[in-house]
């Protein structure tokens, strides 16, 4: 009986922690603004890099080049995701609904979302190597606040 109560208490604690983390993430996400266009994102990025201390001009150029490459790759993925979503909803309302097709389209959408995330994480890893030992401080102090949180 003690083991059962301990297990229930542990599950309750883990669920509580997960719920708190989800609420924190939701709150932080709600405070962020959307970037309207590629031009707006690039303008913000250039502004941050122009005021950035501790990185060389070459690093700034490499960073912008990498950012542009990631933007292009994810743009293409976003286009494919949009097309697949249209296909998915067309199939969902189709009188001859095909469960296998719906499942496959959903699988492909999820695969593309994962590919997009992997591209962005991979680029982040390249940037951290490029910027060197103080990269986390630079990125934290400058990039995310300016580029992603402010209008």
pTM of the model: 0.67
Shared domain check, 41 and 24 = no
User: Which tens digit of pLDDT belongs to each residue from 122-148?
Assistant: 998 888 888 776 666 666 555 555 555
More confident residue, 5 or 151: 5
DSSP state of 117: H
Shared domain check, 118 and 100 = yes
The range of the structural domain enclosing residue 57 comes to 35-149
Shared domain check, 10 and 48 = no
* pLDDT band of 150, cuts 50, 70, 90: very low
Shared domain check, 79 and 18 = no
User: Which tens digit of pLDDT belongs to each residue from 98-110?
Assistant: 999 999 999 999 9
Shared domain check, 74 and 50 = yes
Instruction: Determine the straight-line distance between the first and last CA of the chain, rounded to whole angstroms.
Output: 56
Shared domain check, 87 and 119 = yes
Domain count, the chain: 2
Counting other chains too, the contacts that 38-43 makes at CB distance below 8 Å and 24 or more residues apart are 38/71, 38/75, 41/71, 41/147, 42/67, 42/68
Shared domain check, 74 and 9 = no
């Amino acid at each position: 009986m003690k083991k059962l109560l301990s297990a229930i208490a542990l599950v309750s604690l883990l669920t509580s922690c997960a719920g708190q983390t989800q609420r924190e993430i939701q709150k932080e996400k709600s405070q962020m603004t959307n970037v309207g266009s590629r031009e707006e994102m690039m303008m913000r990025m250039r502004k941050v890099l122009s005021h950035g201390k501790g990185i060389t001009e070459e690093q700034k150029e490499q960073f912008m080049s990498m950012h542009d490459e990631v933007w292009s790759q994810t743009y293409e993925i976003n286009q494919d995701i949009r097309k697949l979503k249209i296909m998915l909803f067309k199939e969902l309302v189709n009188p001859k609904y095909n469960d296998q097709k719906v499942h496959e389209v959903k699988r492909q959408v999820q695969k593309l979302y994962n590919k997009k995330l992997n591209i962005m994480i991979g680029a982040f890893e390249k940037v951290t190597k490029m910027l060197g030992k103080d990269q986390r401080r630079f990125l934290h102090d400058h990039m995310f606040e300016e580029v992603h949180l402010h209008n």
